[in-house]
Amino acid sequence: MNSQNILDREFYNRDALIVAKELLGKLLVHEINGQMISLKIVETEAYMGIEDKAAHSYGGRRTNRVEVMYGEPGFSYVYFVYGMHYLFNIVTRERGNPQAVLIRAGEPVKGLDLIAHNRFGIPYEKLNKIQLINLTNGPGKLSKALSITKELNGEDLCGNKLYVTEGEKETFSIVSAKRVGIDYAEEAKDYPWRFYIKGNTYVSIK
């Protein structure tokens, strides 16, 4: 509703490590057909680009898939993995510096019935305890819950369809941990570049 506090291009024009931490607690919003889905970001990972062996853009690798990472900050990078999941990232740093932040988990805030329907095909109130936790506690699940697919690759997050806002002001502790699912990345696989809100239920791996 209030477009005043949508995060701007400059917010994203910083190192992925900084943006990843600052995105925690912010509100990720997707407006579809006049309806709004939103969730609080509770877990992120930084991918630092050319020098990060875990990044798709490592070593300056430049294919069709990663092209958007080389563009302006504040755009979405959505890609498909394991034959069935879309993962949602936000590009950071200036054109030519291909960094991104993977949004790994969130806490449902608005559009609960839409989220429940996207994930399990039933209304929110019919979800059991296990389903409630599993709505948005992982990067693939989060994309499914928000209806984020390849069509939203390259979307400008400084627009009014898919964007991030300040959200509620609150205090929390940030935990740093190893990133997930990057065993191929040699020494980079142990870098503590995953960040999450301490104690939050929706964090994928504590």
Partner DNA sequence: CTACGGATTTTCT
Partner DNA sequence: GAAAATCCGTAGT
Is residue 173 within the footprint of DNA (CB under 7 A)? no
Taking the C-alpha atoms of residue 65 and residue 86, their distance in angstroms, rounded to an integer, is 13
Is residue 84 within the footprint of DNA (CB under 7 A)? yes
Minimum CB distance to DNA, residue 74 (Å): 16
Bridge-based pairing of strands 194-197 and 35-47 is antiparallel
User: HSE-up of 148 (CA within 13 Å, CB side)?
Assistant: 32
Is residue 81 within the footprint of DNA (CB under 7 A)? yes
Under rule CB under 7 A, how many of the chain's residues touch DNA?
Answer: 36
Minimum CB distance to DNA, residue 112 (Å): 17
Site for DNA (CB under 7 A): which residue of 3, 63, 171, 173? Answer: 63
Site for DNA (CB under 7 A): which residue of 31, 65, 72, 174? Answer: 65
Between vectors from CA 95 to CA 32 and to CA 100, what angle results, nearest 5°? 55
Element (H, E) at 75: none
Bridge-based pairing of strands 27-32 and 85-92 is unpaired
Is residue 106 within the footprint of DNA (CB under 7 A)? no
Is residue 204 within the footprint of DNA (CB under 7 A)? yes
Kindly give, in sequence order, each residue whose CB lies less than 8 Å from that of residue 133, ignoring residues fewer than 6 positions away: 201, 202
Q: Which is nearer to DNA, 5 or 138 (CB)?
A: 138
Site for DNA (CB under 7 A): which residue of 50, 80, 154, 156? Answer: 80
Bridge-based pairing of strands 85-92 and 76-81 is antiparallel
Footprint of DNA on this chain (CB under 7 A)?
45, 47, 54-57, 61, 63-66, 77, 79-85, 87, 89, 100, 102, 119, 134, 138-142, 150, 180-182, 184, 204
